[in-house]
Structure 1
Amino acid sequence: MSDLVFDALLCDLDNVIRFYDLDEVARQEEAVGIAPGTTMEIAFAPGRDLPLVLGQITRAQWAASISEALTAQIPAQRAADLATAFAHAPARVDQHVVELLHQARRSIPVVLVTNATVWLDDDLAQLGLTDLADHVVNSSRVHSAKPDAEIYRIAAERAGVPAHRCAFVDDSQTNVDAARRAGMTAVLYRDISDLRRLLAPIVNEGDSSFLQETQAGPHD
C-alpha cells in the first residue's frame, strides 16, 4: 500500500450506500395537494434534523414534530399519515458499493461516518450491513454531527490512522470541505465511479491518478 495516500477509508452512509424509497411519501403529498418534497423539507429543518442526529429525540417524537408542522397545510390525520410514511420509509442498498467496500476492507480499515439516528443499528441489521465496516461512527451516539470537526477526529481515532492518512467519501460538499480542513483526502460522491477511482489501487478498478486529484491539505 506504499503508493496510497491513505491508510483508512471513512465513508458516508446515506446517498452513498443506503437510499430511501420515498414513492409513498410522494404519492401522499400529491393526494393532499402539497408540493413534492414538502415533507422532507420539514423533516430535515434544522430544528428537527439536528436533535434527531444528535440522539436527542426518538423516531416517534420526530414523526410527531413533522406531523405538527404539516397541519399548517393539511388536515391532522393526513399530516400524521405523511409523517409516519416519511419516518418509516423503506430503504435499499447499492450492492455494488457494498462490494467495493468489502474489497477495500481486506486491505485497510473501513469506517462508516454518518449523521444518523439512535435506531441505526437496527437499520443496518435489517439491510444486512452489520459486517460492512470495522467501525460505525454514528452522530447520535457520539453526539457530534458532520461537519463538526469532532466527528472527523473520532472517526480517524476509531480507524487507528492519523487524519492526514484517511480518505473520506461523502455526498455533501460541506462535509467534504470539513474533511479537507481536517487534513483528509476527501472525495465528493456523485456516483459509484468516484468510489471506484478512489479505491483503484486496492480493488484494481479505475484510474489511480484520481488519488492525487482529490488529496487536499488542512488549509484547502
Structure 2
Amino acid sequence: MIPFDAVLSDLDGVLRHFDHAAQADIEARYGLPLMKTALDPELIMPPTLGQVTEDEWFESIVAALGGDERARQAVTEFAQIRCWVDEEVRALLAKVQQHVPVVIVTNAMDRLEEQLDQLGLTYFADDVVSSAKVGVAKPDRRIYEIAAERAGAAPERCLFVDDRLHNVEAARALGMTGVHYRTYQDLAAVLTY
C-alpha cells in the first residue's frame, strides 16, 4: 500500500508541460525578454492570486515590453504556446487514485478550468486547489493546508510533488513528504508499490 493518505501534485512542470523551445524561439525572433518579464513577481502575482485576469496579465506584459505592435505580437504568440499532459505521470497518479485522493495544487489563473478541460483533465483529480480561487499561492503554507484539508488528510500524511524546490521545501516545513520533480522516475520511485 501507499504510505500516504493523499497525494498533492503540482500541475505545471509535473503533469502539464509547455514547449520551452518555442518560448525561446519567440524571444529570439522578437529580441524581447519575454519569459523574464512574464514571470516578474510584480506582473505574475496579481493574476496568480485572482486579483486580475489572465488577459490583464498578458496586457501588463505587453506594456512592460514597450507596448508596441512587436511586443503585442510576441505576447500573442506566447499565449498560444503548445502544452501537453505527461501521460506517464497521469497514468501513475490515476493508479494511486484508486487508493488515496489526488489533489492538484497549482499557482494558476482565472482560466484554469477551461485549460484543464482542453487537456482532458477536468474530472481527473479528486480536487483542484487553484491559487487564483483561494487567494494564496505556493509557497504560502495556507495553500498546502487547504489542499490537505480538501484531501481529508493530515499534512504529515500527504505526499507533495512539485518541480520547484522552494515549493517542496515549504511543504516539508509543514511535515509533508516532498518530492522535487525533475523526471518521471523521481515520482515513480516514491509511488511504486
User: TM range, normalised to the smaller chain?
Assistant: over 0.9
* Equivalence map 1:41-190=2 (5 Å): 41-71=36-66, 76-190=68-182
The alignment-based identity, stated in percent, is 47
Q: Say if 2:47 and 2:57, in contact at 8 Å, map to a contact too.
A: yes
Q: Say if 2:139 and 2:167, in contact at 8 Å, map to a contact too.
A: yes
Change (3 A) 1:77 1:119: same
1:30 Cα shift? 2.1
| Secondary structure, counterpart of 1:104 in structure 2 | helix
C-alpha RMSD of matched pairs (Å):
1.4
CA distance in 2, matches of 1:190, 1:12: 12
Q: Which residue of 2 aligns with 1:19?
A: 17
CA distance in 2, matches of 1:126, 1:55: 21
Larger Rg: 1
1:63 Cα shift? 1.0
CA distance in 2, matches of 1:162, 1:23: 40
> What one-letter code is carried by the residue in structure 1 that aligns with 2:16?
R
Count residues with an aligned counterpart: 193
> What one-letter code is carried by the residue in structure 1 that aligns with 2:24?
A
CA distance in 1, matches of 2:51, 2:78: 19
Q: Which has the higher contact order (CA 8 A, sep 6+)?
A: 2
The unaligned stretches of length 5 or more in structure 2 are none
1:89 Cα shift? 2.3
CA distance in 2, matches of 1:195, 1:42: 31
1:68 Cα shift? 0.9
CA distance in 2, matches of 1:87, 1:194: 30
| Secondary structure, counterpart of 2:148 in structure 1 | helix
- TM-score with structure 2 length normalisation? 0.95
| Secondary structure, counterpart of 1:92 in structure 2 | strand
1:192 aligns with 2:184: yes
> What one-letter code is carried by the residue in structure 2 that aligns with 1:32?
Y
The unaligned stretches of length 5 or more in structure 1 are 202-220
> What one-letter code is carried by the residue in structure 2 that aligns with 1:190?
R
CA distance in 1, matches of 2:166, 2:145: 16
CA distance in 2, matches of 1:89, 1:31: 15
- TM-score with structure 1 length normalisation? 0.84
1:29 Cα shift? 2.4
Change (3 A) 1:42 1:167: same
1:120 Cα shift? 0.3
CA distance in 2, matches of 1:194, 1:27: 29
